Amino acid sequence: MSSALNPGPPDKGNCPVPAGSRFAFTSCTEDSTADLLSFVDKTPNAIGYAEMPGPLTSYPQVSVVKIDGAAPTAADVRNGSYKFWTVEHLYVAEHPAPLAKDFLAFLPRYHAADPPPDFIACSEALKSLGAAC
């Protein structure tokens, strides 16, 4: 059983093995962005969402979707043009192990010192986009 305070382990990938044909199901999850993109690439009419890992040359059947003409770029998310985004959550035990504590202390300093180019900190997200930090 999980709750907001104890979400339990993340779901493991449960998508069927891509066979180049349509599947009769409504949803599934994958363990990684690469697994998701590979599944969508090899499954006709599949739709998925993932962070943009860079050019999608390894996934020729995957298309990036614009919303109201806006591309899924950090700039368009920041200015409110691209209206589909999500907050990534980090869950830890109530009393994390020392290594986990060290990582939690390191992460904010890392992002402040050398943020990835498309990373948007929740504190930086526009309140109009529904950021609840």
Q: How confident is the model at residue 3 (pLDDT cuts 50, 70, 90)?
A: very low
What residues are paired with 70 via a beta bridge? Answer: 67
Q: What is the pLDDT of residue 1?
A: 44
pTM over 0.85: no
Q: Are 70 and 82 in contact (CB under 8 A)?
A: yes
Q: What is the pLDDT of residue 109?
A: 84
Q: Are 92 and 104 in contact (CB under 8 A)?
A: yes
> In this predicted structure, which of 11-15, 72-76, 109-113 has the lowest mean pLDDT?
11-15
Choice between 34 and 112, residue whose per-residue pLDDT is larger: 34
Q: Are 41 and 62 in contact (CB under 8 A)?
A: yes
Angle of CA points 113, 115, 117, to nearest 5°? 145
Chain center to CA of 92 = 18
Helix segments in 1-133, DSSP class H: 33-42, 74-78, 98-113
Six-digit token string for 91:
């869950």
